[in-house]
Amino acid sequence: MSLASFFQILPPKLPYSCKSVPIETLLMPEKITLLWYKKNPSDVAPKVGDRVKTGQDLAEDGKGPFVSTATGRIEEISDFQGPEGHGYVSVVISQNKRDSFDLALTPIEDFSEVDPVDLRAAVNRAGFTALSSISNDPSTWPSVNTLIVSALDLDPHSVVNQQIFRDHVDLVEDSIDLLARTTGASSCVIAVPDNLSDIAGSISTGIANIVIVPPIYPKGLPDILAKEYGKGFLIKRNENQVVTGNTLVISIEHAIAMLGCLKTGKPLTDKTITFSAGKGGEMKNFRVRIGMPVAEILKKADVEPPERGKLILNGLMNGYACFSGDQPITESTDSIHVQAPSEVFYFQDNACINCGKCNAICPVDLEVNFLGRFSQYGMFDKCRNLGAENCIECGLCAYVCPAHRPLVQLISHAKHVIRTEALEDVSMEEALAKIEMEDFHPTIKLFETKQEEKNTTK
Ligand code: SF4
Ligand code: SF4
């Protein structure tokens, strides 16, 4: 933290880690667990006991794709509650030692000969769900004005994208060509952190511009990149399921993986994560099979599961605590941090002291103090009027709040209620009741219980 921020003249600056951390590949575990967002066990086509191949689409007709990252036998299909509060269907597969690949995907030698709609279908079928969440139908993809391929990481404690950029800079140009054709983007940008600008100099950019980004959090978050370098908004679904925005941001890891998958006709099977344990602990980059349980990674890293500490997935700023070692790695897991008990930060149900620090640091200019209060007291229509939906959940407000209020959880909860109201076409009260039944945020539950206890003792 800088001297200026210590005296509260400027907000604190959080630099991204710039370390070079070689990537080590971990052996496949005996079992993997695949998660499928907001689906039911009946949406999975094979049954328990069936054998499946790597790359096989496990979805019932018209529901997928839901791509297997392993070859083996299905042991269990069940509902799964994610630590971030979302519901999934989970499929546990006991793996063979070797992959036997489904032949639905075929290698594409020359992308320039292939229709963009077919390229999108191939990307979806290879298992890149981050893109298929925009549209499962390749013929109805939104029009992309700007494509940003980012070599920045999402959290200050992750060094995945930076390392992949270092290791595979020679593949960046081909990846951009593929993505430009696939998405139809009229302008392409390669976002590179300042510390890697010398490596970026070796790229023959062709159709893309290189932008050098200060390695300060939250500059690497997709919404911020879209705003600053796409001159627009990230393409996403709003609360009414309408796709809005004009800029697509893809990590360099996914861009290079897409190139590899389409060229070889193989599915996406692996994910690279940054692993660290304890404050200031050594960072390691592991390449693991998607679906590998966190507990297996701890075992391979020779780290004991924390008894009173926490497992944090996807970073200390905008990640979440995971309560079970059974939690599997997904396509969007970037990091695991094992927190020692002394490092664990506890939110408080303290009242806001109106210091204004949260408002000053919010990168999307929200009135965070009011949003926190309105959400706390169930005034979700007021949260909507203040633009709660625009919160990018960067965590900076909670980081600076001297009252230690769980601001991100409160705002995220309000967003969830607002979305449910719009999606299900129900009242706010009905939306709240539905969320409480299904996947209410654990921190908010705790917060409300403490409030009730306080009210009772008054
Ligand atoms: S998490 Fe806080 S600081 Fe970040 S965008 Fe949301 S309200 Fe603003
Ligand atoms: S930082 Fe915390 S205490 Fe200060 S205004 Fe925001 S919510 Fe209130």
CATH of the domain at 158: 3.40.50.11540
CA distances from 347 to 9, 258, 399, 447 (A): 25, 40, 11, 9
- 112 close to ligand 2 (CB < 6 Angstrom): no
User: Would you say residue 262 has pLDDT above 70?
Assistant: yes
Among 73-77, 151-155, 307-311, 434-438, the minimum mean pLDDT is found in: 434-438
- Whether 13 is covered by a domain: the verdict is no
Residues 129 and 257 in one domain: yes
Q: Whose CA is nearest to atom 1 of ligand 2?
A: 401
**What pLDDT is attached to residue 240?**
66
- 414 close to ligand 1 (CB < 6 Angstrom): no
- 411 close to ligand 1 (CB < 6 Angstrom): yes
Ligand number, closest to the Cα atom of 386: 1
Q: Rounded to 5 degrees, what are φ and ψ at 426?
A: -125, 175
- Integer Cα distance of 6 and 13 in angstroms: 11
Helix (H) or strand (E) segment spanning residue 238: none
In this prediction, residue 249 has a pLDDT band, given cuts at 50, 70 and 90, of very high
H helical segments located in 143-291: 160-167, 172-183, 197-200, 222-229, 252-264
H helical segments located in 208-303: 222-229, 252-264, 294-300
Rounded to the nearest angstrom, the distance between the alpha carbon of 335 and the centre of ligand 2 is: 29
Residues 279 and 238 in one domain: no
Atom index in ligand 2 nearest the CA of residue 353 equals: 3
| Mutate-to-test residue for ligand 2 from 8, 348, 349, 352, highest number of ligand atoms within 8 A of CB | 352
Rounded to the nearest angstrom, the distance between the alpha carbon of 376 and the centre of ligand 2 is: 13
Helix (H) or strand (E) segment spanning residue 429: helix 428-438
Q: Which residues of 172-182 are buried (b: 16+ CB within 10 A; e: fewer)?
A: bbebbbbbbbb
Residues 57 and 120 in one domain: no
- Integer Cα distance of 97 and 30 in angstroms: 8
- 406 close to ligand 2 (CB < 6 Angstrom): no
Ligand number, closest to the Cα atom of 361: 1
Rounded to the nearest angstrom, the distance between the alpha carbon of 14 and the centre of ligand 2 is: 19
CA angle 449, 454, 455 (to 5 degrees): 100
CATH of the domain at 38: 2.40.50.100
Residues 386 and 305 in one domain: no
- Integer Cα distance of 3 and 133 in angstroms: 43
- The β-bridge partners of 236 are 244
Q: Whose CA is nearest to atom 4 of ligand 2?
A: 355
- 392 close to ligand 1 (CB < 6 Angstrom): yes
The larger pLDDT score, comparing residue 395 to residue 443, is at: 395
Q: Whose CA is nearest to atom 4 of ligand 1?
A: 394
What's the DSSP call for residue 144? -
Atom index in ligand 1 nearest the CA of residue 393 equals: 1
Q: Is the dihedral of CA 378, 455, 404, 154 positive or negative?
A: negative
- 366 close to ligand 2 (CB < 6 Angstrom): no
- Integer Cα distance of 195 and 345 in angstroms: 30
Residues 425 and 400 in one domain: yes
Q: Whose CA is nearest to atom 2 of ligand 2?
A: 401
- 355 close to ligand 1 (CB < 6 Angstrom): no
In 3D space, the residue among 39, 96, 106 whose CA is nearest the CA of residue 69 turns out to be 96
Residues 119 and 255 in one domain: yes
Atom index in ligand 2 nearest the CA of residue 350 equals: 3
The number of residues in the chain equals 458
Q: Which residues of 80-111 are buried (b: 16+ CB within 10 A; e: fewer)?
A: bebbebeebbbbbbebeeebebbebbeebeeb
Question: What's the number of CA atoms in the CB half-sphere (13 Å) around residue 433?
Answer: 6
Last residue within a domain, chosen from 63, 95, 127: 95
Last residue within a domain, chosen from 300, 321, 343: 343
- 45 close to ligand 2 (CB < 6 Angstrom): no
The larger pLDDT score, comparing residue 285 to residue 205, is at: 285
- Integer Cα distance of 141 and 458 in angstroms: 55
Residue 25, number of CB atoms within 10 A of its CB: 12
- Integer Cα distance of 395 and 311 in angstroms: 17
Rounded to the nearest angstrom, the distance between the alpha carbon of 408 and the centre of ligand 2 is: 12
Q: Domain residues for 183?
A: 111-264
Residues 124 and 233 in one domain: yes
User: Would you say residue 7 has pLDDT above 50?
Assistant: no
Residues 245 and 165 in one domain: yes
Atom index in ligand 2 nearest the CA of residue 372 equals: 7
- Integer Cα distance of 218 and 214 in angstroms: 10
- Whether 380 is covered by a domain: the verdict is yes
**What pLDDT is attached to residue 2?**
41
ipTM over 0.95: yes
Ligand number, closest to the Cα atom of 411: 1
- 360 close to ligand 1 (CB < 6 Angstrom): no
Structural domain tally of the chain? Answer: 4
- Whether 115 is covered by a domain: the verdict is yes
Rounded to the nearest angstrom, the distance between the alpha carbon of 366 and the centre of ligand 2 is: 12
In 3D space, the residue among 291, 276, 391 whose CA is nearest the CA of residue 340 turns out to be 276
Among 15-24, 57-66, 301-310, 349-358, the minimum mean pLDDT is found in: 301-310
Reported as a single tens digit per residue, the pLDDT across 405-416 is 999 999 998 998
- 397 close to ligand 1 (CB < 6 Angstrom): yes
- Whether 232 is covered by a domain: the verdict is yes
Among 8-22, 163-177, 292-306, the minimum mean pLDDT is found in: 8-22
In 3D space, the residue among 69, 70, 66, 58 whose CA is nearest the CA of residue 95 turns out to be 70
Amino acid at 199: I
Residues 78 and 158 in one domain: no
- Whether 7 is covered by a domain: the verdict is no
Residues 277 and 160 in one domain: no
User: Would you say residue 453 has pLDDT above 80?
Assistant: no
Collapse the DSSP code of 197 into the 3-class scheme (helix H, G, I; strand E, B; otherwise coil) and give the result: helix
Rounded to the nearest angstrom, the distance between the alpha carbon of 378 and the centre of ligand 2 is: 18
- Whether 223 is covered by a domain: the verdict is yes
In 3D space, the residue among 120, 148, 149 whose CA is nearest the CA of residue 136 turns out to be 120
- Integer Cα distance of 388 and 417 in angstroms: 11
Last residue within a domain, chosen from 292, 319, 343: 343
**What pLDDT is attached to residue 75?**
97
Collapse the DSSP code of 432 into the 3-class scheme (helix H, G, I; strand E, B; otherwise coil) and give the result: helix
CATH of the domain at 331: 3.10.20.90
- Integer Cα distance of 248 and 234 in angstroms: 6
Residues 249 and 139 in one domain: yes
Ligand number, closest to the Cα atom of 394: 1
Q: Whose CA is nearest to atom 6 of ligand 1?
A: 391
**What pLDDT is attached to residue 452?**
54
- Whether 6 is covered by a domain: the verdict is no
**What pLDDT is attached to residue 263?**
95
- Integer Cα distance of 56 and 46 in angstroms: 10
- Integer Cα distance of 432 and 378 in angstroms: 9
The larger pLDDT score, comparing residue 440 to residue 106, is at: 106
Question: β-strands 51-52, 31-37: how paired?
Answer: unpaired
In this prediction, residue 108 has a pLDDT band, given cuts at 50, 70 and 90, of very high
In this prediction, residue 279 has a pLDDT band, given cuts at 50, 70 and 90, of confident
- Whether 208 is covered by a domain: the verdict is yes
Q: Rounded to 5 degrees, what are φ and ψ at 272?
A: -100, 135
Q: Whose CA is nearest to atom 3 of ligand 1?
A: 362
Tokens representing 302?
């020779």
**What pLDDT is attached to residue 404?**
93
